[in-house]
Homo-oligomer: A and B are copies of this chain.
């Protein structure tokens, strides 16, 4: 960026700048923040970085992040074993857990079908899902892919695949976001909200 940066500081600005959503100005601000932070805080961050790469892997059953063979959800006997919620990424599991509305299991696909990016069904963890449905314990699959083009394509593919396996297949409701303004809802969302209207009296 400039000749006044020397060695280590320039390296740190560069490394921060490689992170998603962090531009050159933010990278510089972060680097100067680090420079002024207590040594202990900085080594905690450096340690957390290397530990994540060392310890975190993916649950062999559901594909969620885990530090053991089985993730916390799969290991927990209190979770409903009859429902599997299918999501694209581990962060979707976090989002759903935060609602406290769901007590079943998960299956993380590791992405969505996206022909433009060369991602087909075989690139997702769909083959790992099928054995989980064979024992007969699972009676329902809730499809919770992102409500965008790739997510909808993945949902359509999964609905077709799973409906032949004798499990109930459901999909998260589309509609107006809570706290939003009706006049600002896009026409597709508003249309879906009409289609999915529920009788209240």
Interface flag for A201 (CB, 8 Å):
no
The size bracket of the interface on A is: 35 or more
Q: Is the CB of A9 within 8 A of B52?
A: yes
Contacts of A172 in B (CB 8 A): none
Report the bound CA distance from A30 to B89 in whole Å: 14
- By beta carbon, the residue of chain B nearest A34 is B52
Query: Dominant SS at the A interface?
Result: helix
Interface flag for A200 (CB, 8 Å):
no
Indicate which residue in B2, B16, B20, B50 contacts A97 across the interface (CB closer than 8 Å).
Answer: B2
Report the bound CA distance from A16 to B193 in whole Å: 37
Report the bound CA distance from A42 to B53 in whole Å: 8
Interface residue ranges, A against B (CB under 8 Å): 1-9, 11-12, 14-16, 18-21, 26, 28-35, 37, 39, 41-56, 64-67, 71-73, 89-91, 93-94, 97-98
Interface CB pairs A-B, < 8 A, 26: A2-B94, A2-B97, A3-B72, A4-B72, A4-B94, A6-B67, A7-B51, A8-B56, A8-B67, A12-B48, A12-B51, A15-B45, A16-B45, A19-B30, A21-B26, A21-B29, A28-B91, A32-B90, A35-B53, A35-B65, A43-B50, A43-B53, A46-B46, A46-B47, A46-B50, A49-B49
